[in-house]
Amino acid sequence: MDTLLSQGDHKRNGQGFLIPISGAQEAIQRAMIRLSVPKGSFAPNPKLGSRLFLLGKAPERQTEELALEYAKEALLEEEQVQATAVRQTERSQGSMELEIMLSYLGEDSEEGAQYAVRLHF
């Protein structure tokens, strides 16, 4: 069991208590952390993270293909979540937005459960 994160901090309920999460919500949150952290930047575990931050240097025609490869690589240790598709939704000078489709494969999942997450780089 974990606690819900929102905009880089713990989310709290109306009484100020941390909000517990489990199942699909917890697995998707772990996946988002792995996708959004630059690989090698977390000292306690340099293997944690993704290479998605490198996409700004890639040719635009290869962005989605590389993004899917990087997302799959980042989620290798997440047995319950897989990246299935990536779509670039925005690209401007120095930044981009990706929509990544994640498939949750946990025991409590509905068949074919898909989650879309948006990340900004």
* pLDDT the model gives residue 56: 85
* pLDDT the model gives residue 110: 74
Residue 74 structure tokens: 């980042």
User: Within 13 Å of residue 3, how many CA atoms lie on the same side as its CB?
Assistant: 11
pLDDT in tens, 67-76: 999 999 999 9
> Is the CB of residue 47 less than 8 Å from the CB of residue 54?
no
| Lookup result for tokens 């980042």 | 74
How would you write the pLDDT of the chain (121 residues) with one tens digit per residue? 899 998 889 999 999 999 999 999 999 999 999 999 999 999 999 999 999 999 988 888 899 999 999 999 999 999 999 999 999 888 777 788 999 999 998 887 776 688 999 888 8
Whole-model pTM: value is 0.86
Paired sense of beta strands 5-6 and 9-10, if any: antiparallel
CB count within 10 Å of CB 41 equals 10
* pLDDT the model gives residue 107: 80
* pLDDT the model gives residue 112: 67
